[in-house]
A and B are shown apart, each in its own frame.
Chain A
C-alpha cells in the first residue's frame, strides 16, 4: 500500500502539464496530446457524471444516509420520501461514483502513458487505432463490458441492497410510506438474543446439514448410476430411455412437488391402492410423519435433481480414457474396482465444483418441504415443523410476516454458514489442489 502511494506520488511529480490538466478536466491532456476523440469522450463522460450528480446524484447519496425525512400521505396529498427507492438510488449513486473514480484513474494513467510514450520518442496510437484494438487485442473488453454492466445492475446491486436491508428496520409496519431507518447490528442482536430461537435453530440446522449432505449424495449417486447405465452397450434405445429423466427435469419443480403431494395424500392414488387392498390409509406427509416425510422429501428431490447430474455425468463419461480401463482389466481389476479407482476419481474431479453448487442448492432448498408439507408449526419447534429447513424457517419468521430486515439478516447468517462449508470443501478438494491432474 505504502509502495503504491509512493509510486503515485512519484508519478505525480514526474507528470507534465497535460497530465495535470487531465487531473482537473478529464480528457484535457489527451486532447492536447492530439488524441482529440478520446479526449472529448473522457470530457463528455466527466460532464455527464457531474451533470448526474448535480441533478440527483448528491441528493441520492444524502438520501442513502437519511433514507428520507418527509413521510408521505396520499390522503393529504403529501408526496413523501420513499425510503426503499432512496436506498436503491443511493446505492446506484455510489456505483456511479465508483465508476467515475475508475474512469478518472483510467484517464490519468492513460494520459501518463501518453506522456511516457512521447518522452521515449514513440508515437501515440490514434483514436481509430485504439478503437480497432477493442475489436482485436482488447476484444475481451468489448465483449465483457455489457455483461459486466448487466451483472452490476441485475446481480450486484440487488445483493448489496439485500445486505444493506439487514441493517435497517424495513419490514413489518415500517414499509413505505413509513420512513425506514438505519439500525446498525440491531437485527442480528435481536436474532442472537431471542431465547426461543436457539433450540429450534440447533434442531433445524442439524436436520438441514443432514438433508443437504444426504440429498446431494443421493442425487449424485443416482445421476451417476443412470449415466453409467445408459453408457452400457447392453442398453438398447439409449436416447429413448434418456428422454424420461429429461422430461422429469423439464417439468417445473413445483408442479412435480404438488403432484407428489397429491400422490401421497390421504385421498391420493397411493392410499387408494392401499385401501382397495384392504389396508388402512397412511399419513405419509401428515404431522406425525416426521421421518416418512423426510424420506419422501429426499426421494422427491432426487427425482427432480438426478436428471441434471445424469446429463452432466454423461458428458464427462464420454471423455474417459478407455485405455485406462483396458490396462486395469489386464491387471485383473474387476468392474467394481474400475468404478472405484478410475471412474469415480475422474468424475468426482470434474464435478466437485458442481457438487458444491448442488450442496448449496439443497441446503437452501425452499420448495421441497414448502410444497410437500408446508403450513405446520409442531411441538418442540418455534414456528416451524420437523421437516422445515433453515430457509423455510426464515420464510415463516420473516417474509411471512413481512420482516424484510430480519429476513435479510438471517439470509446473511445462512450465507456465512454455507460459504464456510463450501469453501472448506472446495479448498480441500482435488479439483482445487491438484488442478492439473487430468490435463
Chain B
C-alpha cells in the first residue's frame, strides 16, 4: 500500500513538473501532452502542424503511397518512387505504390489499417477527411515549396479547428478546363476574317461568339462535321458558364452549404450560352458517350474543339499521331505534326449579354470550376516523418517539373509554372486571378452533381425539342430551372440531416 502511494506521488510530481516546464519556453511545449502544436507560430498566416512531425526520420520503414492512375500508367509514379528511395536509402525508408483504388475512402479504411500513408487526391476529397481528423495537419510553412505556391491554393487545404488554422495538404497541380482544338483546321483566312482585335490570335479560340459562329459555319459546310463539341451534362465543365455570370456553388467562399448559388446573379445567361452551343452540336452533347469518342473525333477532324483537363493532353496528341500514322507518316513525323496541330488554350471569353449571335459583344473573362490535387499524410501512418519527407521530395522543383513533362499537368508551384511556361503558366495566372473556382472542400459538395447534371442534360436536350415542347424559351425559364437546381441540392443536403 505504502509502495503504491509512493509511486502515485512520484507520478503526480512528474506530471506537475512537466506542466511547469511547459510554461517556460516554446521548445518545451512539444514535450507536454498536447499533440498539435504551434511550431510555425509567429509566421504570417500562422498555420499549425501536428507535433508528430518532429523532424526525426523513422528508420527502416516502408510507406505506402497512393498516386493517381494516370501517374502510374504513364510511369511518373515509378520515377518518383525510385528517386525517393534512392535519396532515402541510407535511412532504410522505402516508398512503395499503395496499390489501392485511387478513389479509396480513407475515413472508412484508414482506422482499420487499410489506407495508404501518403495520398494524392483532389482538394475536395482530401478535405473531407479533416472532419474525422483522418489526415494530419502539415507544418507547411516549414516546407521548401511554401513560398512558391499561391495562397489561394493553400487556402483549398486549410481548415479551422478550435479557432486554429491547419493546413492538411500540399498542392501539387491545378486542374481546370482547357480548350483543345485543331490548329490546322482553323480557316485559312483567319488572320483577315477571324481576328477582329488584331492581336494575332484567332477569335475562334478567344471568344465563344466566334467559336459559335465557326461551329455553325463548319456544320453548314459539311453536315458530318462540327465545331465545338462537348457533353454538356458535366457540372465540372458546364458550371463555369454559370459562375462567369455571378453564379456560385456555396456561399462564403464555398463554405456555407445553406447558401446555394447556381441561380445567383445572372447565371441564367451562362445557361443560355450553353443552350446556344448545344444548338450548334448534335444530340451526342446530351449524354456521356462523347467522353470516350472525343479523342478519336478530334483526331479524324469530325470535331474542331472541345473542353477537357490538361492531364489528357497526351491522349489527344497520341490519337492525332495515330491518325497521321494511318495516313502513312512515320512515327516521329506523326508525333511532331500532332504536337504542332493539337493546341491547348485557356477557356474562351464570354459575351456580357450571354448572346452568342451578337456581332460585336463586350467580352468578360470566363470563370471555370477547378481543383487542386495534392498530397496529404494519413493520420494512421506509423511513419509520419518519413511521409512528410516524401511529400517534401515529391513537391520539389525537380519532381514537379518532371510531373509536368510526363503528365502534362499544370504545376501549382510558381517557379515550375514559370520554367515550363505555356498553358501551365496560363493556368497558374488564372488561379491567381481567381478565375478558377476551386471545388469546395466541404462534404456537401457531393450533392451538387445529380441536380446539376439533370439540369444541364435538360438544356442540352431542349435544343433538340420541337418549338412547342421547348422548356427553356426565355431567360426567366432558365432562371427558374436553376432555382430548382438550388432547391434540389438544398433538399439533398438538408432533408435528412
What is A's interface to B at a CB cutoff of 8 Å?
A: 73-77, 82, 172-173, 175-178, 190, 194, 196, 262, 265-268, 271, 281, 283, 285-288, 375-379, 382-383, 396-398, 400-401, 403, 406
Given contacts A283-B461, A287-B457, A401-B496, contact A76 B36 (CB under 8 A): yes
Judge whether B491 and A196 touch: CB under 8 Å.
yes
Q: How far is the CA of A401 from the CA of B458 in the complex (A)?
A: 24
One of B38-46, B283-291, B386-394, B415-423 contacting the partner: B283-291
**Interface residues of A, dominant DSSP:** loop
**Of A190, A283, A286, A377, the contact of B450 (CB 8 Å cutoff):** A377
**A190 with B379, Cβ < 8 A, contacts A177-B133, A283-B461 known:** no
Top 10 nearest A-B pairs (CB, nearest first) are A267-B289, A74-B379, A281-B283, A266-B283, A265-B289, A77-B35, A267-B284, A266-B284, A74-B133, A76-B35
Chain A residues within 8 Å of B282, by CB: 266, 281
Instruction: Write the nearest CB–CB distance from B377 to chain A, whole angstroms.
Output: 11
Could you say which residues of chain A place their CB within 8 Å of the CB of B133? 73-75, 177
Contact in complex: B492, A375 (CB < 8 Å): no
Closest to B110 in A: A74
Q: How far is the CB of A308 from chain B (nearest CB, A)?
A: 30
> Do A376 and B491 touch across chains, with their CB atoms under 8 A apart?
no
Beta-carbon nearest neighbor of A382 in chain B? B491
How many Å lie between the Cα of A281 and that of B484 in the bound state?
28
Q: Is the CB of B36 within 8 A of A75?
A: yes
- Interface hub of A176, A194, A266, A398 (most chain B Cβ within 10 A): A266
Question: Which residues, 68 to 94 on B, are CB-close (under 8 Å) to A?
Answer: none
Q: Which residues of A contact B34 (CB under 8 A)?
A: 76
Shortest C-beta distance, B63 to chain A (Å), equals 17
A403 and B289 contacting across the interface, CB-CB below 8 Å: no
A178 and B134 alpha carbons, distance in the complex (Å): 12
Query: In the complex, are the beta carbons of B457 and A176 less than 8 A apart?
Result: no
Residues of B with Cβ closer than 8 Å to A? 33-36, 50, 107, 111, 131-134, 136-137, 161, 282-284, 286-290, 293, 379-380, 443, 446-447, 449-451, 453-454, 457-458, 461, 464-465, 484, 488, 491-493, 495-497
- Identity of the chain B residue whose Cβ is nearest the Cβ of A385 in the assembled complex: B454
How far is A401 from B364 in the complex, measured between Cα atoms in Å? 37
Residue contact A397 to B136, C-beta cutoff 8 Å: no
Q: Please state if B137 and A75 are interface contacts (CB–CB under 8 Å).
A: yes
B461 close to A75 (CB less than 8 A): no
A375/B450 contact (C-beta < 8 A), A75-B35, A262-B289 known: yes
Q: Which residues of B contact A288 (CB under 8 A)?
A: 461, 465
* A437 shortest CB reach to chain B, Å: 50
A383 touches B284 (CB 8 A): no
A-B contact pairs, 26 of them (CB 8 A): A74-B136, A75-B35, A75-B36, A75-B133, A75-B161, A77-B33, A82-B111, A172-B496, A173-B131, A175-B107, A175-B132, A176-B111, A176-B132, A262-B289, A266-B282, A266-B289, A271-B283, A281-B282, A283-B286, A286-B287, A375-B450, A376-B457, A383-B491, A383-B492, A401-B446, A401-B447
Shortest beta-carbon distance from A161 to chain B in Å: 15
A266 touches B50 (CB 8 A): no
Cβ contact within 8 Å between A75 and B457 = no
Inter-subunit contact A74/B380 (CB<8 Å): yes
The reply to whether A283 and B379 contact each other, CB–CB distance below 8 Å, is: no
The reply to whether A378 and B454 contact each other, CB–CB distance below 8 Å, is yes
Contact of B488 among A77, A383, A400 (CB under 8 A): A383
Cβ of B134: which chain A residues have Cβ within 8 Å of it? Answer: 74
A287 touching B454, Cβ below 8 Å: yes
CA distance in complex: A172, B494 (Å):
11
Residue of B nearest to A77 (CB): B35
Give Cα A403 to B495, complex, Å.
Answer: 11
B495 near A196 (CB under 8 angstroms)? yes
Which residues in A have their C-beta under 8 angstroms from that of B443? 173
Q: How far is the CA of A82 from the CA of B107 in the complex (A)?
A: 13
Residue of B nearest to A171 (CB): B496
Across the interface, do B289 and A287 meet the contact criterion of CB distance under 8 Å?
A: no
Residues A265 and B454 in contact in the complex (CB < 8 Å), given A75-B50, A82-B111, A403-B496: no
Q: How far is the CB of B238 from chain A (nearest CB, A)?
A: 14
- Minimum distance in angstroms from B139 CB to a CB of chain A: 13
B488 and A377 contact, CB distance less than 8 A: yes
Closest chain B residue, CB of each to CB of A194: B495
A279 to chain B minimum Cβ distance, whole angstroms, is: 12
Nearest residue, chain A, Cβ from B492: A383
A175-B107, A177-B132, A377-B450 known; A286 vs B286 contact (CB < 8 Å)? yes
A162-B430 Cα distance, complex, nearest whole Å: 48
- Residues of B contacting A375 with CB < 8 Å? 449-450, 453-454
Hey, which chain B residues are within 8 Å of A177, CB to CB?
A: 111, 132-133
Complex Cα gap A287–B36 (Å): 51
Alpha-carbon distance between A176 and B107 when the two chains are bound, in angstroms:
8
Tell me which residues across on chain A come within 8 A of B286, comparing CB atoms: 266, 283, 286
Given A75-B50, A376-B450, A383-B492, 7 further pairs, Cβ under 8 A: A74-B136, A75-B36, A76-B35, A196-B495, A376-B457, A383-B491, A401-B496
Chain A residues within an 8 Å CB radius of B488: 377, 383
Asked if A172 meets B35 with Cβ closer than 8 Å, knowing A286-B457, A400-B446, the reply is no
Chain B nearest CB from A375 CB (Å) reads: 5
Residues of A within 8 A of B288 (CB): 265
Q: Are A377 and B50 in contact (CB under 8 A)?
A: no
Say whether B287 contacts A266, CB under 8 Å.
yes
A401 CA to B449 CA in the complex, in Å?
A: 12
**A178 and B107 alpha carbons, distance in the complex (Å):** 12
In the bound assembly, the distance between CA atoms of A194 and B111 in angstroms comes to 35
Q: A196 — which chain B residues lie within 8 A by C-beta?
A: 491, 495
Q: How many Å lie between the Cα of A33 and that of B284 in the bound state?
A: 84
Q: Please give the distance in Å from B219's CB to the nearest CB on chain A.
A: 14
Q: Report Cα–Cα, A400/B464, bound state, in Å.
A: 32
Task: Give every chain B residue within 8 A of A378 (Cβ-Cβ).
Answer: 454
Q: CA–CA, A76 to B496, complex, Å?
A: 31
Cα–Cα distance between A379 and B485 once the two chains are bound (Å): 11
For the complex, give the distance between the alpha carbons of A400 and B107 in Å: 15
* Residues of chain B lying within 8 A (CB to CB) of residue A73: 133
Cross-interface CB contact of A286 among B449, B461, B484, B495, cutoff 8 Å: B461
Distance of A177 Cα from B133 Cα, bound (Å): 8
Q: Which of A74, A267, A285 contacts B290 (CB 8 A)?
A: A267
Bound CA–CA A333/B430 (angstroms): 82
- Nearest CB in chain A: distance from B353 CB, A: 29
| Contact (Cβ within 8 A) A75 B379 | yes
B9 to A: closest C-beta gap in Å:
26
Measured CA separation A288–B488 after assembly (Å):
19
Most chain B CB inside 10 Å of its own CB: which residue of A173, A285, A287, A376? A287
Interface centre among A172, A177, A397 (most CB of B within 10 A): A177
Give the docked Cα–Cα distance between A396 and B133 (Å): 26
**Which of A175, A178, A288: most chain B CB closer than 10 A?**
A288
